[in-house]
Structure 1
Amino acid sequence: MVVFPIIIIVSFFMYFYYKIMILRDRDPLQQEIKNAKARIALGVCISFFGINQYLFYQTRLALFITIVFLFFGVLQGTGGVKRWIHYKGEFEKRATSE
């Protein structure tokens, strides 16, 4: 299963990409949008890392660790999606009012 490590690596690099882009941006609203995207990428990375570890080891301990990783990954991902939708709407409101 080479797909899971590729997804993990791509999402890990996307997380760092968005975190670095936050530093380059001066607009606080765009910083929040990029931070939300970084949280989504982190959630995907954590979730797929947990799944990959379970598929690799397939033990009861790995299952419990996978459940914990999935829990935190889904929390990060859903929180990021909620923030992204909210701040994207705020950005569109600001763009139409100017």
Structure 2
Amino acid sequence: MSQTRDRIIQIIAEQAMLDPGEVDMAMTPSDLGIDSLGLVEAIFALEEAFDITVPFNANEPDKSDFDISSVGAIVGAVERLVAAKGA
């Protein structure tokens, strides 16, 4: 696993109050017990950790380009934002 992916999973695990080893890429935020407020807090933590801006509107999550359907989708979306920032 990449350092970026490890850090993303660590942040999500902290929000879910789980050990990072318990987080699977196929899990959804609800599988992890993360509610909408927790998801927003996790997104803020990801933005701060990677110095990125996540295009996510908590009031209209379905209209976002940021896929929050699973841990793997969140990892992929953050990795793309990090890569775009470095380009």
TM-score of the two chains, using structure 1 as the length reference: 0.28
More helix by share: 1
Based on CA coordinates, which of the two structures has the bigger radius of gyration? 1
TM-score of the two chains, using structure 2 as the length reference: 0.30
